[in-house]
Amino acid sequence: MLSREETAVVLAKAHMDVDPSITIVYRIHVEDEREDDFATPIHLLEVTEMTPEAGIVPVGFGARKRDGLLYPSVVVQITPGELERIQGGSLALPGGWRLDDRPIRPGN
């Protein structure tokens, strides 16, 4: 069984493989997130120039248990400019969400 962190890496790699325009993926940590809570989604922030600047628009996906992915997921796609605004504090994530300090590096 994959951990929450391992699942985040698998999802990031799969998304980057399918969509090469995704240049960076960050994990978003959610307040009160627990490793053993399979109902709480894994949140990913994907940076791509191919998405419109629309702010923070979460899109949810169900778990895929047959593929070993036990957690549902939420993906937010943003532009590089929006990432700069998040990091600079002028674009906020929803309350209780915190961007990981480092991007996910699939394969490392």
Q: Band of the pLDDT at 10, cuts 50, 70, 90?
A: very high
Instruction: Quote the pLDDT of residue 107.
Output: 64
Protein fold of 4-99: Beta Polymerase; domain 2 (3.30.460)
Percent of the chain residues past pLDDT 70, beyond the cut:
98
Contact by Cβ (8 Å): 53, 79 = yes
- Per cent of the chain over pLDDT 90 is 85
Judge if pTM exceeds 0.85.
yes
| 26 closest CA partner among 40, 46, 42, 49 | 46
Mean pLDDT of 63-82: 95
Nearest CA to 62 among 91, 95, 34, 39? 39
